């Protein structure tokens, strides 16, 4: 050991913990292949705190010397998972030489240490280490078997093709040994190991154990491993020919695992085959087929998805709706379906789906939609609301123009409720001017119950509208009301009565009442107005104080005498 390394190692014995940590990190950067350095680091571990221990492990892991194993093995019982994994990596550098020692420890090791020792064996990559790891599958603890399968999958990924093939053959020999071939639990773990190694040679073995003559336990594990394998076109065809009949089996768990394998093989499944799956007795098979079809954005598939919107299963309906909202080529079929749909709820569903395609709908389709909405609004069709909802999200200006036109048509045809429904949607839009406000107020007035009690006054939409117009000096509300042929004596009496009781513009209410008495002199409203005005004059006369007698009046009395 040269003088520099000797000085750095000397710092490991310093009283200053910061210097000791610094020395360990410097050695980690230098990573010298020197037994004396490894010994200095290893001997320091016993008296280190957590911070220094982490620095020392970093250095030993960077150096990667088999000589470090004896110093770190006691840390295999650490409470911290991260520490145990780092120690396992350091111990594994000892290679095949450490396997006999691990074998002795496994015989009496507690559960946690056993798990860590299996991790060490998985990192060593020798035949003896792999065999010792397989032997742990006989342990009655299921968690130990799971650890063997997980370690086998984790540490075979970086092996060469030749190395993987060697491990594959080792597992197959182990499975065929007399002590294993009749033990289902160990066979199932071996099937998982074959799936983790991912050799193409495993395909035929896994398919053999997936057949119905085996127990559901073995079938399930073989199918789990099958979905980890990669497939060519030829191998995919072979797997599909074996697995497709299992989709009609009675065990839903096996069906689910087959579907998981088919999901990996989806590039090799044609649309025709997927459409056959839609007739399956298992809902999960139908849902899988629909999901696969939805990912291919084509007009035939989108038309098929449209039919699923009325499916009895909610999950299928939701999946179809999401796919239609995502697929660009679904716009045409959706618009056709919306134009033909008479059911209100179904029309709303189609409109909400089409909202996601608002930016994809062309001008020709918008024109078609406008024509359809105009016809539906004038006809007062219940589905007009869903159509208008869609147009408002595509072209708000066009929607406002249609509402205005339809509202005015309803007003002139004296369909007052329909007029209110159309014109009220224009509130808070640029199209809602004084004329529209007047038309809406008149329509509200015709729909009003025309209650004269004061407590109904604040709730009347017609009176609110007229109040707003009265506050606009340029709008001649009185002239409009007098000339409006749709309004009769009952309507104007109602408006005049309330505005007389609550004057906003002086004399507006009374002037309107006088107009009622003049225009409809024989109506009961006219009589009510005349009685009202007569009582007002009588009240005013009673309120005038008696005049004082003047000299002229006295003289007239004397002349009479």
Length of the chain in terms of residues written? 561
Q: What is the reported pLDDT for 549? A: 45
| Residue 366 Cα to chain centre, angstroms | 29
In sequence order, which residues have a C-beta less than 8 Å from that of residue 273 and are 6 or more positions away?
none
3-state secondary structure 229-258: CCCCHHHHHHHHHHHHHHHHCCCHHHHHHH
| Cα 419 from Cα 410, distance rounded (Å) | 5
pLDDT digit string (tens) for the chain, length 561 residues: 578 888 888 888 888 889 999 998 998 898 888 888 889 998 888 888 889 999 999 999 898 888 888 888 888 888 888 888 888 888 888 888 889 988 998 888 888 889 999 999 988 888 999 999 999 999 999 999 999 999 988 888 778 889 999 999 999 999 999 999 889 999 999 999 999 999 999 999 999 999 999 999 999 999 999 999 988 889 999 999 999 999 999 999 999 999 999 998 888 888 888 888 888 888 889 888 888 888 888 888 899 889 888 888 888 888 889 999 999 999 999 999 999 998 999 999 999 999 999 888 888 888 888 889 888 888 888 888 898 899 888 888 888 999 899 899 999 999 999 999 999 989 988 899 999 999 999 999 999 998 888 888 888 999 999 999 998 889 999 999 999 999 999 999 999 998 988 777 778 988 999 999 999 999 999 999 888 888 766 766 676 554 444 444 444 444 444
Cα separations in angstroms, 469 against 76, 252, 450, 480: 87, 70, 19, 11
Q: What is the pLDDT of residue 544?
A: 56
**Who's near 33: CB < 8 A, 6+ residues apart?**
63, 65
The two three-digit tokens of residue 219, written as one number? 């079938």
Is residue 43 a contact partner of residue 35, using CB atoms and an 8 Å limit?
Answer: no
- Classify 163 as helix, strand or coil: helix
Q: What's the CA gap between 317 and 287, in Å, rounded?
A: 10
Phi, psi dihedrals of residue 172, rounded to the nearest 5°: -60, -45
Closest listed residue to residue 167, CA positions, set 222, 212, 124, 106: 124
What is the model's pLDDT at position 456?
A: 83
Q: Report how far residue 520's alpha carbon sits from residue 215's, in angstroms, rounded to the nearest whole number.
A: 96
Q: Is the separation of the CB atoms in 129 and 121 below 8 Å?
A: yes
Torsions phi, psi for 425 (to 5 deg):
-70, -10
Q: Which residues contact 256 (CB under 8 A, 6 or more apart)?
A: 284
Kind and range of the H or E element at 350? helix 344-355
CA-CA-CA-CA torsion sign (106, 110, 112, 113): negative
DSSP state of 72: H
Give kind and range of the element (H or E) at residue 135: helix 127-135
Q: At what angle do helices 127-135 and 161-176 cross, to 10 degrees?
A: 40
Contacts of 72 (CB under 8 A, 6+ apart): 42, 45, 57, 60, 87, 90, 91
Please check whether residue 517 is in contact with residue 526, taking contact to mean a CB–CB distance below 8 angstroms. yes
SS (H, E, C) 449-481: CCCCCHHHCCCCHHHHHHHHHHCCCCCCHHHHH
pTM for the structure as a whole: 0.65
Place of tokens 């033909």: 340
3-state SS assignment for residue 297: coil
d(CA 443, CA 461): 10
Q: Tell me phi and psi for residue 307, to 5 degrees.
A: -65, -25
Query: What was the pLDDT predicted at 553?
Result: 47
Q: Burial, 136: exposed, middle or buried (Cβ in 10 Å; 0-12, 13-18, 19+)?
A: buried
End-to-end Cα spacing for the chain = 159
Question: Quick one: which H or E segment has residue 387?
Answer: helix 384-394
CA 168 – CA 134 distance, rounded (Å): 12
Residue 314, token pair as written in the block? 């909610």
pLDDT at 157: 79
Give the tokens for residue 86: 């780092």
Query: CA-to-CA distance for 440 and 455, rounded, in angstroms?
Result: 22
Which two structure tokens, joined as six digits, stand for 338? 């919306």
Kindly state the tokens that stand for 218: 């073995």
Q: How far is CA 29 from CA 72, 90, 279, in A?
A: 20, 16, 64
Contacts of 189 (CB under 8 A, 6+ apart): 137, 145, 148, 149, 221
Residues 6+ apart with CB under 8 A from 465: 437, 438, 440, 441, 444
């Amino acid at each position: 050991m040269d003088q520099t390394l000797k000085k750095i190692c000397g710092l490991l014995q310093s009283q200053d913990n910061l210097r000791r940590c610094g020395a360990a990190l410097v050695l980690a950067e230098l990573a010298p292949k020197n037994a004396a350095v490894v010994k200095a680091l290893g001997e320091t571990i016993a008296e280190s705190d957590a911070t220094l221990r982490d620095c020392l492990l970093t250095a030993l892991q960077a150096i990667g010397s088999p000589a470090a194993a004896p110093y770190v093995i006691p840390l295999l019982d650490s409470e911290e998972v991260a520490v145990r994994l780092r120690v396992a990596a350091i111990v594994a550098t000892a290679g095949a030489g450490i396997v006999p020692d691990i074998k002795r420890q496994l015989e009496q090791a507690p559960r946690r240490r056993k798990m860590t020792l299996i991790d060490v064996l998985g990192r060593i990559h020798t035949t003896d280490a792999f065999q010792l790891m397989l032997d742990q599958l006989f342990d009655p603890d299921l968690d130990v078997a799971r650890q063997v399968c997980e370690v086998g999958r984790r540490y075979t990924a970086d092996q060469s093709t030749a190395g993987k093939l060697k491990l594959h053959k080792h597992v197959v020999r182990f499975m065929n040994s007399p002590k294993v071939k009749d033990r289902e639990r160990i066979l199932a773990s071996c099937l998982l190991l074959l799936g983790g190694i991912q050799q193409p040679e495993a395909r035929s073995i896994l398919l053999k154990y997936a057949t119905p003559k085996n127990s559901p336990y073995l079938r399930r594990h073989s199918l789990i491993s099958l979905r980890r394998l990669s497939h060519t076109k030829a191998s995919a065809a072979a797997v599909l020919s074996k697995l497709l009949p299992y989709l009609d089996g009675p065990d839903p768990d096996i069906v689910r695992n087959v579907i998981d394998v088919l999901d990996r093989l989806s590039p090799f499944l044609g649309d025709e085959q997927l459409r056959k799956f839609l007739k399956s007795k298992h809902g999960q098979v139908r849902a899988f087929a629909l999901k696969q079809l939805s990912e291919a954005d084509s007009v035939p598939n989108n038309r098929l998805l449209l039919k699923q919107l009325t499916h009895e299963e909610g999950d299928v309906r939701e999946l179809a709706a999401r796919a239609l909202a995502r697929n660009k080529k679904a716009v045409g079929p959706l618009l056709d379906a919306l134009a033909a749909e008479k059911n209100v709820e179904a029309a709303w569903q189609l409109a909400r789906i089409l909202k996601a395609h608002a930016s994809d709908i062309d001008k020709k389709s918008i024109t078609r939609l406008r024509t359809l909405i105009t016809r539906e609004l004038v006809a007062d069709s219940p589905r007009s609301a869903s159509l208008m909802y869609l147009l408002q999200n595509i072209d708000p200006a066009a929607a406002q123009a249609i509402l205005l036109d339809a509202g005015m048509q309803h007003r002139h045809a004296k369909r007052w409720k329909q007029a209110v429904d159309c014109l009220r949607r224009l509130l808070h839009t640029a199209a809602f001017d004084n004329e529209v406000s007047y038309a809406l107020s008149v329509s509200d007035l015709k729909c009003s119950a025309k209650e004269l009690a004061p407590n109904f006054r604040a709730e009347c939409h017609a009176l609110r509208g007229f109040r707003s117009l009265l506050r606009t000096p340029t709008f001649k509300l009185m002239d409009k009301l007098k000339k409006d042929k749709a309004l009769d004596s009952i309507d104007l009496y109602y408006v005049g009565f309330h505005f007389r009781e609550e004057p906003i513009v002086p004399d507006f209410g009374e002037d309107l009442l006088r107009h009622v008495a003049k225009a409809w002199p024989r109506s009961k409203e006219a009589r009510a107005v005349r009685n009202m005005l007569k009582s007002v004059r009588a009240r005013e006369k009673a309120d005038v104080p008696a005049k004082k007698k003047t000299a002229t009046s006295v003289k007239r009395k004397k002349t009479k005498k």
